[in-house]
Amino acid sequence: MEVAVLSIEGKQTGRSVQLADSVFGIEEPNDHAIYLDVKYIQKNKRQGTSKAKERSEVHGTNKKPFRQKGTGNARQGDRKSPLFPRSGGTIFGPRPRDYRSKLNRKVKRLARNSALTYKAREESICVIEDFAFETPKTKEFVKIMNALEVGSKKVLLIVGESNNNVYLSGRNVPKKYIKEAADLNTYDILNAETIIFTEGALDFINEKLAN
pLDDT-flagged residues of the chain (< 70): 211
142 and 56 co-located in one domain: no
92 and 170 co-located in one domain: no
pLDDT given at position 57: 92
User: In this structure, are residues 60 and 104 in contact, taking their beta carbons and an 8 Å threshold?
Assistant: no
Edge to edge, what strands does the sheet with 155-159 contain?
Answer: 12-18, 2-6, 125-128, 194-198, 155-159, 176-180
145 and 194 co-located in one domain: yes
Q: How many domains does the chain have?
A: 2
127 and 173 co-located in one domain: yes
90 and 175 co-located in one domain: no
179 and 194 co-located in one domain: yes
CATH number at residue 24: 3.40.1370.10
195 and 131 co-located in one domain: yes
93 and 120 co-located in one domain: no
Residue numbers of the domain that contains 56: 48-98
| 132 HSE (CA, 13 A, CB side) | 7
Tens of pLDDT, residues 108-143: 999 999 999 999 999 999 999 999 999 999 999 999
Q: Are strands 176-180 and 155-159 parallel, antiparallel or unpaired?
A: parallel
pLDDT given at position 50: 94
109 and 168 co-located in one domain: yes
What Cα–Cα distance (Å) separates residue 65 from each residue in 59, 70, 125, 154? 15, 13, 68, 59
pLDDT given at position 61: 87
